[in-house]
Amino acid sequence: MSILENIKEATIRGDRDNVVELSKKAIAEGLKVDDIIQKGFIAAMGVVGDRFKKGEIFVPEMLIAARAMQAGLGIVKPYLTGDEKVTELATVVLGTVKGDLHDIGKNLVGMMLEGAGCVVVDLGNNVAPEKFVNAVREHKPQFLGLSSLLTTTMPGMRIVLEKLEEASLRQQVKVLVGGAPVTQKFADEIGADGYASNASVAVDKIKELLGVSE
């Protein structure tokens, strides 16, 4: 098996130590960082996402794989040179809405999006609407991802959309919403562009909105 296939398999297994060692070895052997990311990590997260969708694995396994991927990314990212830029799918500003401290699912969404090749600007949890608006102005992302785990904080998503409209930024960004109490119906009601029930569906949704086929 090639070193890239080994990285992919180790990431799927969530074998963090092996991913780190293999990533160091790949760098030492002069492999292209973009190849390590695309054919190793991103390919692995594609498999993990599919297995999650089929119910073959669950959130803990997905988190372990995502953490292994992040450890590997930490090794190879410093070796990215100016002329070797990772193929970026999209930039996504992500955060949990104001009043809400739940961030495990949002972090998982962020990791899966990174695994799919997105640049993720994570604003954290308990994020005020104004902070989302400022981040959209500053980072000019293609997507804004809002997470909410509480029925009491869900209305905060609508407020973010209103504030984007007031700042004349709504047309510049597609808004994706998710979190346990959030539904497609709610997303439609507040005028969001997309809803995803879990992290791998979030990746699919972003690809769908970009018009990128699998």
Among 42, 45, 97, 196, binds ligand B1M (CB under 6 A): 196
Q: Does 163 bind ligand B1M (CB under 6 A)?
A: no
Task: Find the angle CA(213)-CA(198)-CA(146) to the nearest 5 degrees.
Answer: 95
- Residue pair 129/161 in contact (Cβ under 8 Å)? The answer is no
Does the footprint of ligand B1M cover residue 199 (CB under 6 A)? yes
Is there binding between residue 120 and ligand B1M (CB under 6 A)? Answer: no
Nearest distance in Å: CB 56, ligand B1M: 15
Listed ranges 1-9, 127-135, 143-151, 163-171: which one lies at the site for ligand B1M (CB under 6 A): 143-151
Rounded distance between C-alpha atoms, residue 29 and residue 5, angstroms: 15
Stretch that binds ligand B1M, among 5-13, 76-84, 130-138, 171-179 (CB under 6 A): 171-179
- Residue whose CB is less far from ligand B1M, 12 or 109: 109
Q: Is 110 in the site for ligand B1M (CB under 6 A)?
A: no
Considering only 2-10, 13-21, 102-110, 185-193, which stretch makes contact with ligand B1M by CB under 6 A?
102-110
Site for ligand B1M in 40-99 (CB under 6 A): 59, 99
Q: Does 173 bind ligand B1M (CB under 6 A)?
A: no
Which amino acid type is present at position 197? S
- Rounded to 10 deg, the angle between the 16-28 and 59-76 helix axes is 30
Identified binder of ligand B1M from the candidate list 89, 149, 187, 192, rule CB under 6 A: 149
CB of 116 to ligand B1M, least distance (A): 13
Q: Taking a C-beta distance cutoff of 8 angstroms, is the pair 94, 120 a contact?
A: yes
Residue pair 96/102 in contact (Cβ under 8 Å)? The answer is yes
Q: Can residue 180 be called a binding residue for ligand B1M (CB under 6 A)?
A: yes
Closer residue to ligand B1M (CB): 101 or 210: 101
The 10 Å Cβ neighbour count of residue 182 is 22
User: What residues make contact with ligand B1M under the rule CB under 6 A?
Assistant: 59, 99-106, 108-109, 145-147, 149-152, 176-181, 196, 198-199, 202
